[in-house]
Amino acid sequence: EPKASPEDNGSAPPPRLPLSKIIKSARKRILITGGAGFIGSHLVDRLMEDGLNEVIVADNFFTGSKDNIRRWIGHPNFELIRHDVTSPLLVEVDQIYHLACPASPIFYKYNPVKTTKTNVLGTLNMLGLAKRVRARFLLTSTSEVYGDPLEHPQTEEYWGNVNPIGVRSCYDEGKRVAETLAFDYHRQHGLEIRIARIFNTYGPRMNIDDGRVVSNFIAQALRGVEMTVQAPGTQTRSFCYVSDMVEGLIRLMEGNDTGPINLGNPGEFTMVELAESVKELVAPSATWKMVDNTPDDPRKRKPDITKAKSILGWEPKVTLRDGLPLMAADFRERLGVATKQQ
Ligand code: NAD
Ligand code: UDP
Ligand code: UDP
């Protein structure tokens, strides 16, 4: 601090105001980790289209792709950093949407130790960053924190039934620690945090070979190969269209509740029903076969979204019947498959 000089007649110089208090601007600078991925790139679109934001994406392109955000590259309000969140990151931002983490089982099981590092070290680094710059921090957690749930549907109060040593644990337990870290930064350092527990989400830009069920079935149906329903086929999931998810994430970030808050579509379908819907809505000639399942597959999953409805005024608008054809149109284009013959 500069000392008062004799010319000041003994009066101390006025303290300097931080620039952010002088330059009044509604413009927010927002970091999106994992912004080159499926959900992240749709979030980038929404925040950029708003016109009031500067968006910085940090992504290591493990499962994401520059193609997903190509339209913004070169835009003055957009910045792309190739960065792995397991290393520290220095940027100055007002908000952090922390999405970086592979979400599909085939990718998060590929290098499970790395998945745990991404969830634990990656989240720690982004929380450390948020603490330094006093940014609000949103974590995209997952319904997988409920494991193979013994309560149905799952409310945020349910503590889960998770195997700590299974092949999915790097993801499930990784996200559970990420939630713990976020809450401890909140309690210990007063950080503003938001936690979304995201249930299965689908839509355009999902990796075609992502391995998750909706992308698998649509790609298989369009390629004319049998859809692979994993046994027993009676297991259920609830599928949320990506535009609904992005709306929920932004409302959570802008609201006053830390969460955790479930975000998902409560419509519940068996995998056989999903295959039948894809057949009906995407490719009437498609067929399916039953194949072996993978270990620890949750038998059912459906969000209780009472909290999201009352606290965020949010509920999904796009039904599976409306969403599947929208996703199929994107897959047709990327697979180079002709438009459906009616
Ligand atoms: P995605 O795989 O398409 O996106 C993840 C992004 O993170 C990719 O761009 C990837 O390259 C990047 N990434 C991965 N590891 C990284 C690292 N170490 N450093 C920097 N970047 C890294 O997945 P998505 O479906 O868009 O999921 C986004 C977030 O939402 C994830 O945190 C996921 O756990 C969560 N989520 C998704 C779903 C879903 O159904 N899609 C469900 C629950 C939770
Ligand atoms: N960190 C970061 N960017 C920052 C500030 C911190 O990546 O702008 C990382 C830092 O390297 C550390 C982690 O965040 O590994 C936690 O930081 P914090 O200050 O909370 O803890 P400490 O550094 O005291 O362990
Ligand atoms: N599944 C399937 N066929 C596939 C891929 C997945 O029947 O080709 C089933 C899988 O057994 C699970 C459900 O679809 O019951 C959802 O799996 P996904 O990997 O999409 O997501 P998660 O298990 O993470 O919910």
Q: What are the tens digits of pLDDT across the range 274-313?
A: 999 999 999 999 999 999 998 878 888 899 999 999 999 9
Q: What is the pLDDT of residue 142?
A: 97
Taking residues 137-141, what's their average pLDDT? 98
d(CA 87, CA 65): 20
Task: Please confirm, yes or no, whether 202 is among the known catalytic residues.
Answer: no
Q: What are the tens digits of pLDDT across the range 67-118?
A: 999 999 999 999 999 999 999 999 999 999 999 999 999 999 999 999 999 9
Asked if residue 313 lies in contact with residue 255, where contact means CB atoms within 8 angstroms, the answer is no
Of these residues, 97, 108, 146, 171, which one is catalytic? 171
* Structure token digits, residue 40: 């992240």
The ipTM (two decimal places) reads 0.97
Confidence band, pLDDT 50/70/90 cuts, at residue 8: low
Ligand 3 mutation pick, 63, 142, 212, 229, max ligand atoms within 8 A of CB: 212
Taking residues 122-130, what's their average pLDDT? 98
Q: What is the pLDDT of residue 341?
A: 45
Query: Ligand 2, closest atom to CA 91?
Result: 8
Asked if residue 238 lies in contact with residue 194, where contact means CB atoms within 8 angstroms, the answer is no
Q: What is the pLDDT of residue 4?
A: 46
pTM exceeds 0.90, yes or no = yes
CB neighbours of residue 69 within 10 Å? 25
Tell me the backbone φ, ψ of residue 241, rounded to 5 degrees: -75, 145
